[in-house]
Amino acid sequence: ATKVASTNGVKIVVERAMYFANEGTEAMGVTTPGKYWFLAEGYTDLGFRTYILIQNPNAVSTSVKLIYMKSDGTTKTKTVTVAANSRFTVVATEANTYGIGVGQTFSTTIQSTQPIIVERAMYWMNGDNTLAGHDSPGVTGAALAWNLAEGFTGAGFDTRILIQNPNSSAAHVTITYMKQGGGTVTKTVTIKAHA
């Protein structure tokens, strides 16, 4: 994990890019640690590998609870201790340690005793037998509305909208697709509690 800080009061912007084989991944930095984090995406089937990456920027260790939420509303909880000023990698396929196991579709709520930073990385094999991947920082809170500027379903692209309901009651959700050039398509879905 990395911490980048301006030392003379001039504000900066930080991203991280990683390149491997014929692929790459990128993520914006996070400016504020938090005790609660949410990841809407997680998948460990068909060769996909999901990693939950935890940075503890504190001078003391922290206890971190991972609550895996499946699409049917069932949950699985694991707890890990992350040392001071360190990074910890949760391998989601490893059910015997801190993961949820192979063949799972899930989202994750993370709760910590100290403010931490959380990202989710996913890797899978491309059709040409090279490794592909992507990464995203978590968010520190749920909200009533979210916006996504990108979406494409042509020329072999497969776009998925991933929604986590970390609450104890069902969420009734309206999804409005806004087409390039104008026009909308609206869909509704109910997401079970903790799903």
Lookup result for tokens 């990074």? 87
DSSP state of 134: E
Distance CA 165, CA 171 (A): 7
Are 93 and 48 contacting, i.e. CB atoms less than 8 angstroms apart?
no
| pLDDT band at residue 106 under the 50/70/90 scheme | very high
pLDDT digits (tens, 9 = 90+) for 62-72: 999 999 999 99
Percent of the chain with pLDDT over 90: 92
pLDDT, position 23: 86
Strand-pairing partners, residue 13, are none
Give the pLDDT mean for 85-107.
97
Are 116 and 32 contacting, i.e. CB atoms less than 8 angstroms apart?
no
Work out the number of other CB atoms within 10 angstroms of the CB of residue 107: 23
Tell me how many degrees the CA angle 37-105-27 measures, rounded to the nearest 5: 45
pLDDT, position 88: 98
| pLDDT band at residue 1 under the 50/70/90 scheme | very high
Q: pTM of the entire structure?
A: 0.94
Does 21 score more than 90 pLDDT? no
| pLDDT band at residue 126 under the 50/70/90 scheme | confident
Which of 80-89, 94-103, 127-136, 150-159 is predicted least confidently? 127-136
pLDDT, position 128: 81
State which amino acid sits at residue 67: I
| pLDDT band at residue 188 under the 50/70/90 scheme | very high
pLDDT, position 129: 84
